[in-house]
Amino acid sequence: MNNQNILITGARQGIAREYAFTLAKRGHTVFATTKTDEQAEALREEVHANNLTIRVERLDICNADDYQKGIDFTPDVLINNAAIGESGPVAEVPMERLRANMETNVYGTLALTQAIIENMIARQSGRIIIISSLAGRMVVPYVGPYAMTKFALEGAGDALRQELKHHGIAVSLVEPGAIDTGFNERMIATKYEWFDDENLLFEDADRMHPYERLLTQNQHPPESVTPAILHAVESNRPKTRYVTPFWPYAPLTWFATKLLPDRVRDWLTRKVANTD
């Protein structure tokens, strides 16, 4: 595929920073965006230090006033990466925190996508890549608030794919597993900002720790997601879904979600976490 104009949200660090740099090295025109001006300045310094040509700007997906920057860039490819993580027992997570997580991960993502799609439909071409998560296919207890947002994006991606195909727009979902970017650690920490001995489920606090270790042990490097992004961007026939890294997550996800009944999958999750 020829040089593409690629808009990436949430590109300050982690997997998006990795594939933004790789896409630029491969000759694509990359517009890497961040939530704040401070993050944008820090990313510009890294871009300069690596002798890359990448446009970097603030584009907060929860601020509609920022969308025009993305529209003016007229991207051929939109990569929706920006997200936040919220953890804690769903039975007690404060609703304002749950709403904030949904506002960024789901509503902000879709609002920007709607703004960008207009030019793609006019051209009858384009690609939309949504960074979801294996948490959008399988839930680890006590990170349900985050998983809920990813389940919603999975549904949005499936709908967009079918609705936009006849307009020449391909939609792909990318589902990373445990990736070593610090995101999982920060997400786990959010519940301790409000969860204490006054909560109904505080007696379950010790039970949470094994599940936290599932998310933070044996993580894969950020660059392990890049091959899936490159295929979604450059292939003449992008996949509808990418589980990444393929091994071990793809076969395990297929087995757990396609073959196992819910209660068996719940039991297996407890066994892996050593909570039984």
Residues with a catalytic annotation lie at: 146
- The C-alpha atoms of residue 207 and residue 211 are separated, in whole angstroms, by 8
Q: Which pair of tokens denotes residue 34?
A: 């961040």
What are the structure tokens assigned to 186, written together?
């920060």
Query: How far, in Å, CA of 9 to CA of 30, rounded?
Result: 11
Residue 84 · residue 104 · CB < 8 Å = yes
The two three-digit tokens of residue 156, written as one number: 């949005």
- Closest CA relative to residue 214, chosen from 160, 162, 138: 138
DSSP 3-state assignment of 34?
A: strand
> What is the sign of the dihedral through the CA atoms of 248, 253, 259 and 264?
positive
Structure tokens at 151: 């389940």
Contact 73, 57 (CB under 8 A): no
Taking the C-alpha atoms of residue 60 and residue 36, their distance in angstroms, rounded to an integer, is 7
Between CA 20 and CA 12 the distance in angstroms is 10
Query: d(Cα 231, Cα 77) in Å, to the nearest integer?
Result: 12
Least Cα distance to 80 among 37, 53, 115, 39 occurs for: 115
For residue 34, the one-letter residue type is T
